[in-house]
Protein backbone atom coordinates (compact mmCIF):
# COMPACT_ATOMS: atom_id res chain seq x y z
CA UNK A 1 0.00 0.00 0.00
CA UNK A 2 2.90 2.35 0.71
CA UNK A 3 3.81 2.24 -2.99
CA UNK A 4 0.48 3.91 -3.73
CA UNK A 5 1.72 6.97 -1.86
CA UNK A 6 4.90 7.29 -3.87
CA UNK A 7 6.05 10.84 -4.61
CA UNK A 8 5.14 10.39 -8.27
CA UNK A 9 1.54 9.48 -7.42
CA UNK A 10 1.20 12.18 -4.78
CA UNK A 11 2.58 14.79 -7.14
CA UNK A 12 0.10 13.66 -9.79
CA UNK A 13 -2.72 14.06 -7.27
CA UNK A 14 -1.42 17.48 -6.22
CA UNK A 15 -1.38 18.51 -9.89
CA UNK A 16 -5.04 17.50 -10.03
CA UNK A 17 -5.78 19.40 -6.82
CA UNK A 18 -4.17 22.50 -8.34
CA UNK A 19 -6.45 22.23 -11.38
CA UNK A 20 -9.41 21.83 -9.00
CA UNK A 21 -8.37 25.00 -7.17
CA UNK A 22 -7.82 26.92 -10.42
CA UNK A 23 -11.22 25.95 -11.81
CA UNK A 24 -12.82 26.80 -8.46
CA UNK A 25 -11.19 30.24 -8.19
CA UNK A 26 -12.11 31.29 -11.74
CA UNK A 27 -15.65 29.93 -11.34
CA UNK A 28 -16.03 31.68 -7.99
CA UNK A 29 -15.04 35.06 -9.46
CA UNK A 30 -17.47 34.79 -12.38
CA UNK A 31 -20.23 33.31 -10.20
CA UNK A 32 -19.97 36.12 -7.67
CA UNK A 33 -20.23 38.73 -10.41
CA UNK A 34 -23.13 37.13 -12.28
CA UNK A 35 -24.90 35.94 -9.13
CA UNK A 36 -24.59 39.38 -7.57
CA UNK A 37 -26.03 41.06 -10.66
CA UNK A 38 -28.88 38.56 -10.96
CA UNK A 39 -29.71 38.78 -7.24
CA UNK A 40 -29.68 42.58 -7.30
CA UNK A 41 -31.89 42.71 -10.40
CA UNK A 42 -34.44 40.42 -8.76
CA UNK A 43 -34.31 42.39 -5.50
CA UNK A 44 -34.82 45.68 -7.34
CA UNK A 45 -37.93 44.41 -9.15
CA UNK A 46 -36.88 45.87 -12.47
CA UNK A 47 -39.97 45.69 -14.72
CA UNK A 48 -39.92 42.67 -17.06
CA UNK A 49 -36.16 42.08 -16.55
CA UNK A 50 -36.52 40.83 -12.96
CA UNK A 51 -39.14 38.31 -14.05
CA UNK A 52 -37.01 37.02 -16.94
CA UNK A 53 -33.96 36.68 -14.67
CA UNK A 54 -36.11 34.91 -12.08
CA UNK A 55 -37.34 32.36 -14.63
CA UNK A 56 -33.79 31.68 -15.85
CA UNK A 57 -32.50 31.27 -12.29
CA UNK A 58 -35.32 28.90 -11.35
CA UNK A 59 -34.69 26.75 -14.44
CA UNK A 60 -30.95 26.50 -13.79
CA UNK A 61 -31.41 25.75 -10.07
CA UNK A 62 -33.60 22.79 -10.94
CA UNK A 63 -31.20 21.26 -13.46
CA UNK A 64 -28.48 18.74 -12.53
CA UNK A 65 -24.99 20.22 -12.73
CA UNK A 66 -23.90 17.20 -14.74
CA UNK A 67 -26.39 18.11 -17.45
CA UNK A 68 -25.00 21.65 -17.61
CA UNK A 69 -21.45 20.28 -17.92
CA UNK A 70 -22.56 18.11 -20.84
CA UNK A 71 -24.24 21.15 -22.38
CA UNK A 72 -21.18 23.42 -22.22
CA UNK A 73 -18.79 20.77 -23.52
CA UNK A 74 -20.89 18.87 -26.06
CA UNK A 75 -23.84 21.11 -27.03
CA UNK A 76 -22.22 24.54 -27.30
CA UNK A 77 -19.85 23.43 -30.11
CA UNK A 78 -22.95 22.53 -32.13
CA UNK A 79 -23.85 26.23 -32.24
CA UNK A 80 -20.32 27.41 -32.91
CA UNK A 81 -19.09 27.96 -29.35
CA UNK A 82 -16.22 25.58 -28.72
CA UNK A 83 -14.57 25.59 -25.30
CA UNK A 84 -11.65 23.51 -24.14
CA UNK A 85 -12.13 21.20 -21.15
CA UNK A 86 -11.01 23.78 -18.60
CA UNK A 87 -13.29 26.56 -19.80
CA UNK A 88 -16.21 24.19 -20.39
CA UNK A 89 -15.98 23.17 -16.73
CA UNK A 90 -15.66 26.82 -15.64
CA UNK A 91 -18.66 27.82 -17.76
CA UNK A 92 -20.82 25.02 -16.36
CA UNK A 93 -19.89 25.72 -12.75
CA UNK A 94 -20.37 29.46 -13.26
CA UNK A 95 -23.83 29.00 -14.76
CA UNK A 96 -24.94 26.67 -11.96
CA UNK A 97 -23.36 28.50 -9.03
CA UNK A 98 -24.48 31.93 -10.29
CA UNK A 99 -28.09 30.78 -9.99
CA UNK A 100 -27.47 29.50 -6.45
CA UNK A 101 -25.60 32.62 -5.36
CA UNK A 102 -28.22 34.94 -6.83
CA UNK A 103 -30.73 33.59 -4.32
CA UNK A 104 -28.26 34.15 -1.49
CA UNK A 105 -27.68 37.72 -2.68
CA UNK A 106 -31.39 38.39 -3.00
CA UNK A 107 -32.10 37.00 0.48
CA UNK A 108 -29.26 39.06 1.92
CA UNK A 109 -30.53 42.25 0.31
CA UNK A 110 -34.05 41.53 1.55
CA UNK A 111 -32.70 41.15 5.10
CA UNK A 112 -31.78 44.85 5.16
CA UNK A 113 -34.70 46.91 6.51
CA UNK A 114 -36.56 48.82 3.78
CA UNK A 115 -36.14 51.97 5.83
CA UNK A 116 -32.45 51.97 4.93
CA UNK A 117 -33.34 52.48 1.27
CA UNK A 118 -35.81 55.23 2.08
CA UNK A 119 -33.28 56.95 4.35
CA UNK A 120 -30.58 56.82 1.69
CA UNK A 121 -32.79 58.25 -1.03
CA UNK A 122 -34.22 60.93 1.25
CA UNK A 123 -30.65 62.10 1.91
CA UNK A 124 -30.21 62.85 -1.79
CA UNK A 125 -28.66 59.60 -3.02
CA UNK A 126 -29.98 57.90 -6.14
CA UNK A 127 -31.37 54.38 -5.91
CA UNK A 128 -28.17 52.91 -7.40
CA UNK A 129 -25.98 54.91 -4.99
CA UNK A 130 -28.14 53.76 -2.09
CA UNK A 131 -27.68 50.16 -3.16
CA UNK A 132 -23.92 50.44 -3.58
CA UNK A 133 -23.16 52.56 -0.52
CA UNK A 134 -25.75 51.48 2.04
CA UNK A 135 -27.70 48.32 1.22
CA UNK A 136 -25.10 46.00 -0.35
CA UNK A 137 -22.36 46.58 2.31
CA UNK A 138 -24.83 45.67 5.08
CA UNK A 139 -26.27 42.72 3.19
CA UNK A 140 -22.89 41.34 2.15
CA UNK A 141 -21.71 40.88 5.72
CA UNK A 142 -24.90 39.02 6.58
CA UNK A 143 -24.73 36.69 3.58
CA UNK A 144 -20.96 36.06 3.53
CA UNK A 145 -21.11 32.80 5.56
CA UNK A 146 -23.80 31.45 3.23
CA UNK A 147 -21.72 32.45 0.21
CA UNK A 148 -18.68 30.63 1.59
CA UNK A 149 -20.78 27.52 2.24
CA UNK A 150 -21.95 27.59 -1.36
CA UNK A 151 -18.36 28.00 -2.56
CA UNK A 152 -17.36 24.93 -0.55
CA UNK A 153 -20.02 23.05 -2.50
CA UNK A 154 -18.56 24.45 -5.72
CA UNK A 155 -15.13 23.01 -4.90
CA UNK A 156 -16.65 19.58 -4.34
CA UNK A 157 -18.75 19.90 -7.50
CA UNK A 158 -15.60 20.24 -9.63
CA UNK A 159 -15.25 16.45 -9.29
CA UNK A 160 -18.22 16.08 -11.66
CA UNK A 161 -16.03 17.46 -14.45
CA UNK A 162 -14.29 14.09 -14.48
CA UNK A 163 -17.02 13.14 -16.96
CA UNK A 164 -15.37 15.38 -19.59
CA UNK A 165 -11.86 14.31 -18.51
CA UNK A 166 -10.87 17.54 -16.79
CA UNK A 167 -7.51 16.64 -15.16
CA UNK A 168 -8.66 17.60 -11.67
CA UNK A 169 -8.15 15.64 -8.45
CA UNK A 170 -10.77 12.93 -8.96
CA UNK A 171 -9.70 12.39 -12.57
CA UNK A 172 -6.02 11.98 -11.64
CA UNK A 173 -6.83 9.64 -8.76
CA UNK A 174 -8.89 7.54 -11.14
CA UNK A 175 -5.92 7.26 -13.50
CA UNK A 176 -3.63 6.13 -10.67
CA UNK A 177 -5.89 3.38 -9.35
CA UNK A 178 -6.82 2.42 -12.89
CA UNK A 179 -3.23 1.31 -13.35
CA UNK A 180 -3.28 -0.80 -10.18
CA UNK A 181 -6.51 -1.84 -8.51
CA UNK A 182 -4.65 -2.24 -5.20
CA UNK A 183 -4.40 1.55 -5.12
CA UNK A 184 -8.17 2.14 -5.01
CA UNK A 185 -8.45 2.55 -1.23
CA UNK A 186 -5.20 4.57 -0.86
CA UNK A 187 -6.33 6.95 -3.61
CA UNK A 188 -9.71 7.41 -1.99
CA UNK A 189 -7.97 8.14 1.31
CA UNK A 190 -5.69 10.67 -0.38
CA UNK A 191 -8.62 12.34 -2.18
CA UNK A 192 -10.63 12.47 1.03
CA UNK A 193 -7.80 14.17 2.90
CA UNK A 194 -7.14 16.72 0.14
CA UNK A 195 -10.79 17.67 -0.31
CA UNK A 196 -11.21 17.75 3.48
CA UNK A 197 -8.27 20.09 4.06
CA UNK A 198 -9.40 22.61 1.42
CA UNK A 199 -13.08 22.54 2.37
CA UNK A 200 -12.42 22.47 6.12
CA UNK A 201 -10.25 25.58 5.92
CA UNK A 202 -13.06 27.38 4.11
CA UNK A 203 -15.58 26.14 6.68
CA UNK A 204 -13.41 27.58 9.46
CA UNK A 205 -13.45 30.94 7.68
CA UNK A 206 -17.24 30.65 7.36
CA UNK A 207 -17.62 29.84 11.07
CA UNK A 208 -15.39 32.76 12.03
CA UNK A 209 -17.40 35.17 9.88
CA UNK A 210 -20.65 33.80 11.29
CA UNK A 211 -19.39 34.37 14.85
CA UNK A 212 -17.99 37.82 14.11
CA UNK A 213 -21.28 38.82 12.47
CA UNK A 214 -23.11 38.41 15.77
CA UNK A 215 -20.33 40.04 17.77
CA UNK A 216 -20.22 43.11 15.57
| Predicted local distance difference test score (pLDDT) of residue 196 | 92
Is the entire prediction scored with pTM above 0.85?
Answer: yes
According to the model, what pLDDT value does residue 195 have? Answer: 92
Homologous superfamily in CATH for domain 2-113+123-215? MetI-like (1.10.3720.10)
- Count CB atoms within 10 A of the CB of residue 105: 26
Long-range contacts of 189-198 (CB under 8 A, 24+ apart): 190/5, 190/10, 190/13, 191/13, 194/13, 194/14, 194/17, 194/169, 195/155, 195/156, 195/169, 198/17, 198/20, 198/21, 198/155
pLDDT at residue number 25: 92
Element (H, E) at 206: helix 184-215
What pLDDT, on the 0 to 100 scale, is given for residue 1? Answer: 59
Half-sphere exposure of 57 (CA within 13 A, CB side): 26
Mean pLDDT by 10 residues, the chain (216 residues): 77 92 93 93 88 94 94 92 93 95 91 84 84 86 84 90 90 88 88 91 79 58
Domain ranges of the chain: 2-113+123-215
Amino acid sequence: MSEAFSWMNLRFLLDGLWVTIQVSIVSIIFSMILGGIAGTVRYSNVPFLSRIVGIIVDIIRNLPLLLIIFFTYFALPQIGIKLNIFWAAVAALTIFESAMLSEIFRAGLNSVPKGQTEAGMSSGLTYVQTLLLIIIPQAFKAMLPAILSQLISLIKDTSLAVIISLPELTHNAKIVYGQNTNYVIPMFIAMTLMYFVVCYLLSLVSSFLETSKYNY
